[in-house]
Structure 1
Amino acid sequence: MERTLPLVGRTAVVTGAARGLGEGMARALVRRGADVALLGHEESELARVAASLPPGRAAHWQVDVTDEAAMARTASEVEQRFGPPSVLVANAGVSSGGLFLDDDPATWRRVVDVNLIGSAVTARVFLPGLLLTRGYYLQVASLAAIAPAPLMSAYCASKSGVEAFAHCVRAELAHRGVAVGVAYLSWTDTDMIRGAQHHDSLRALRARMPWPADRTYAPQPVVDRLVRGIERRSPAIYAQPWLRAAQAARACLPAVVTHRSRRELGRLAGRADLSATGLLGAGGEADAEAAGLR
């Protein structure tokens, strides 16, 4: 059993585990033999996920990933409950849309704080445990780290940032036995992406993206690919195979996006509401409330 399930008896920590891909990865990691610590903002949703998993195999902590003191306490409690982690998944994230000059500065900053600063805080408090187990840290990035997207400046900046951060940490920890991976994924059918469909600006963005970037992908195949990558300690995980080609072409993408945007945004002006969306989806709403943005 242990030869086929390398995560048996291991401890995994997943942030943003209350819903979406975080919840899906937590469930898959338990099925693959790991005990899982569920971290996130939404107490009731975290409790629901934990209660649905086999007894003793999961526990949850309500915590803001940007709060370093609270995260340090949580890391200590996780280790007391399950032992040092062998897997860390920095998945917590929020998004917003709209033109940069029209966006609420506090909302723009919150996206960067949760996605980038929150990932760094998560790494800082849990990496000492991974050093003990010679474990694996997966940083969830996005197509937004590879290609710029108008109307999503905060999200793209934060996901580019976490990609660079993960590469730096990988280089610093390689000689100490800790592996670091970056996950790249396109639009996946989660609460956040469904929330984007309620806004003219993001519907317009999606409609004008070239195939296959305009598609929305089912979450379970994405979860399965991410967890296989965790088991293999992969340095890069592409949730959709075509993202490898996007990675290879990334030097050309800013010019291509600018060319298309010059035409398309001009057409949209006056026809679509390009105003700022606020944080997207139920998870974004919960985060905005906790952060005092609403």
Structure 2
Amino acid sequence: MTEELPLFGRLAVVTGAARGLGEAMARALVRRGARVALLGLEERELARVAASLPGDITHWPVDITDEAAMARTATQVTERLGPPSVVVANAGVAAGGPFLDTAPATWRRVVEVNLLGSAVTARVFLPALLRTRGYYLQISSLAGIAAAPMMSAYCASKSGAEAFAHSLRAELAHRGVGVGVAYLSWADTEMIRAAEGHSAMRVLRAGLPWPASKTYRVDPVAARLVHGIERRAPVVYAQPWLRAAQAVRAGLPGIIARRSRHEFARRTGRSDITATGLLGAGGKAAESTPGQQPPDGPAG
């Protein structure tokens, strides 16, 4: 059983599990025999996901950027469910639009959640992963390989999260903890669908070459990432072509700049290319509840 299902009976913590990729990964992990602990901002959505999964699934509402709250949550997870063998740093938000039009607080919040929140997640759960000789998966993005216009905060944060994970892997390899970085392109999540409602994001997509402009179904993406977890892979590509993008990443900024120059020149003077704010329902939750405190115990 353990050879066919290496995660069978093991505990996996997933952040950003209220919807989208986090929810899909929780489902894929359960299908592969893992127990899961769901972390996220939105208690009602976490409860919905937990109720839809088989078994006694526990969830904790918590802001991953609040280190004290996350430390308490990590303690509660370990006390109730045991030390995790897998931690998936998936929680993330995005905002689009021109840098100069983006509110500083919005830009900062993207970096706080995607980069600092990942570091907080690692900091509070690494003691348990050292006990289990476990595996930490950092969700990065195509944006971590090739920075695009209209998403400066998201690209900066995902590049930072990528570098953080690579550094962490080098520090922890001799202690038996695996660290992986996952790269994915546009997945069909609520956040990406919300982005389609903004001209700035449509312009961004129009400037991307195929297949970087394509949207991919979230369940196959989650399944591929979970397969990477089972292999304790240092790098996981949700779409195979991302491996090629990685190989030529040094030349991508120039290519993107040339395509963008042409695309933006055609649209000069358009007044609808404006900052989006944090995208989707998850973005709204992150915007309205920074520093949320968790309850004294798990929510389910």
TM-score by length of 1: 0.97
Residue 190 (structure 2) pairs with residue 191 (structure 1) = yes
| Residue ranges of structure 1 left out of the alignment (5+ in a row) | none
Letter of the 2:45 counterpart? E
Match of 2:260 in 1: 261
Does structure 2 retain, via aligned residues, the 8 Å contact 1:146–1:160?
yes
Q: Alpha-carbon deviations, 1:128-180, whole Å to 9, x = none?
A: 10000000000000000000100000000000000000000000000000000
3-state secondary structure, aligned to 1:66: coil
- SS of 2:95's equivalent? coil
Identify the residue that residue 11 of structure 2 maps to in structure 1. Answer: 11
Q: Which residue of 2 aligns with 1:128?
A: 127
Count of residues in correspondence between the two structures: 291
CA contact (8 A) 2:150 2:200 kept: yes
1:99 matched residue in structure 2: 98
Q: Displacement of 1:277 after TM fit?
A: 0.2
Which stretch of the first structure deviates more once superposed, 62-71 or 212-221? 212-221
CA distance in 2, matches of 1:88, 1:3: 20
2:47 maps to which residue? Answer: 47
Provide the secondary structure at the position in 1 that maps to 2:36: strand
Deviation at 1:3, TM superposition (A): 2.1
Residue in structure 1 matched with residue 113 of structure 2 by the alignment? 114
Aligned-residue offset at 1:2: 2.1
> Amino acid of the residue matched to residue 12 of structure 2?
A
Distance 1:227 1:5, change over 3 A: same
Distance in structure 2 (CA, Å) of the matches to 1:272 and 1:138: 40
For the pair 1:21 / 2:42, whether they are aligned, the reply is no
Distance 1:269 1:110 in 2: 29
Structure showing greater relative contact order (alpha-carbon pairs closer than 8 Å, 6 or more residues apart): 2
The 8 Å contact of residues 200 and 272 in structure 1, kept in 2 or not, is answered as: no
* Alignment RMSD: 1.0
Partner of 1:250: 249
Query: Taking structure 2 as the reference length, what is the TM-score of the superposition?
Result: 0.95
Residue pairs, 1:32-71, within 5 angstroms: 32-56=32-56, 58-71=57-70
Distance 1:3 1:264 in 2: 51
Q: What is the distance in 2 between the residues matched to 1:23 and 1:289?
A: 21
Q: Secondary structure at the match of 1:14?
A: strand
| TM-fit CA distance, 1:52 | 1.4
Query: Secondary structure at 1:138's aligned position in 2?
Result: strand
Q: Structure 2: any 5+ residue segments left out of the alignment? A: 292-300
Deviation at 1:221, TM superposition (A): 0.9
- The residue identity in structure 1 corresponding to 2:121 is T
Distance 2:196 2:245 in 1: 24
CA distance in 1, matches of 2:267, 2:237: 32
- What residue is the counterpart of 2:296 in the other structure? none
Query: 1:55, 1:233 → 2: CA distance?
Result: 25
Aligned-pair identity in percent equals: 72
Deviates more, 1:174-183 or 1:201-210: 201-210
The CA distance in 2 between the partners of 1:17 and 1:240, in whole Å, is 21
More moved, 183-192 vs 25-34: 25-34
Q: For the Cα contact (< 8 Å) 2:71–2:124, is it kept in 1? A: yes
